Structure 1
Amino acid sequence: MTKRALITSICLLLAINLFAKKDKVAYAPVAGFTSENVWPAVKVQLDFNKVPVESWSFADQRLKSTWQYYSSGISKKRCKWIFTYSDNLLHVEMVDIQTKIGDEPWKAYGTSQSKSERTMHAYMAMGVASVKENKDNFNKTIDDFYTSLETHSFFYQNATELAGKRWFERYLKDKEINWDLVFANIDESSTRKQYKETLVYVVEGQSKNFSFDNSNFFVTKYTDSDANIFTSKGSLVEVKGVCKQLINKDNVFYIVLEDKGVAIDKPNSVADELLKLKDLLDQGIITQEEFDTQKKKILEG
């Protein structure tokens, strides 16, 4: 055998070996995650592939992506991904596969997958599994996910009031956030006397990136800063603050922020004021006459 023929044979054997190995890559559900830490890993893998999230439900343990585009010979293709966590496994599906040639409209391709698509399917699952290999990076990934505006926007779109409260207590209360929000309005609070005589402004908005129709998730900020007083409505503003309260009104969730390091007391209810006043009377700190006078003032507002 000539030297050239030998080199050709070796190259052919290497190509066959690589092809065989590639063909052995097969999809399998992903193990080793919890229902809480699996979604940050999924998000990292989708970001790596530059595929945005279309919908996510923590209650249903299901996430769906928007389109991922790829080529197949002379045609273009696209698909969506569905990730479902059940029985301690993450199941990955490649769905809505469509194809087009040139300027033709997109057409459904069917449910069958080509060899390259089966490989894509396998590597998508393997990519999610690999995210947790670096523990320090993975912990940061989890923290980033649960302080992300996108995460909370998706959650509160379909949350019940009770679920929303528990979510707030677990992931948002007393946490410092920094979100880009659409500026809606700023007003001098009509109840500013109840806020330690502080001039209170309300910055209320929703991110342009997550402008859901009939949105039921907003952010309100109490602050004595004039930083946004001349901001135009509809402008994108950077809003920093500490999450202090969740309000649910008419099935709309409001996350209430305060400036870091500035404690603004929540207005007391009439009942709270009367209870405090009664306690002072019972302790003999005030007289019955003083009690009656202050009670009248509280009830009259």
Structure 2
Amino acid sequence: MDGRLGYVREMTANGGVGRDEAAEVERRARVARGWDEVAEGYDAYFVPRFAPWLRAGVDAITDGVLPDGPILVPCCGTFPEVEPLIERFPDRELVGIDLSAGMVRLARSRVEGHPQVSVVEGDAATLDPQWSGRCGAVVSVFGLQQLPDPEQAVRSWLAVLRPGGRLSVVYWPSKTEDDGPFAVMADVVRAQVPAGDSSWEGRLAIALVDAGGVVLRDAELSFPMTHADAATYFDAANRAGSLRALGIARGDEFMARLRDEFLEKAPTGEWTHHPRARILVVQR
């Protein structure tokens, strides 16, 4: 689910990898429902603000010659990647995959009139075996940090590539900034909800190399982002973003208290910050 904030995994998970099957099914349903409810607001508020990172993720597969085959976009959300991908690859089959029915509905609306593009409702954490060894590229922007096992996910994404194919992954690490709304929100949430295990971040590149990939780039990406004020940001995150799953789990009264705590710690007025994402570009 592209663009969703780095702390979403901590808020929606309750122990991380290794939970029993019933708990994992419940977690997936809660996450999907949260994104179903906010799909339109997310597309309106967050997608434009995340555009520079999205463009960088797409650019990373265009500076060389890709082998034939589809380009997959796991965790596509409302599929904003599709416009720059069509610009660069007008005749290539493009496939978006997302767990949220609400996101898929908007994504399908976005790709109408482009017969070479399709959107699949499904779990992008492990790609369907039908894609194995067939694809020219995989691009995923801001979905990886939400998945229960990111290491397994990137191995699955690498496995669908043809030799010479490229994987471009942009994700929010556990720490995106030292101050700013992401940092303040993370502090407020962690006081109420234990942080998830983020040790996987240090193992991603190793996992990809072990799976036969060659790391071409491993870097930070930072761009400015502006919100009218702290209340606007919190309400967008709650009603149109990553806080919705937490709100579903904890209820409106909990979220109202969380909002008060966030506003107490936040500055007044317009709020510009420079969050840091990570990009990994790997060739098979």
Report if TM-score (shorter chain) is over 0.5.
no
Between Structure 1 and Structure 2, the one with more strand by share is 1
Larger Rg: 1
Of structures 1 and 2, the one with the larger relative CO (CA 8 A, separation 6+) is 2
Instruction: State the TM-score, normalizing by the size of structure 2.
Output: 0.23
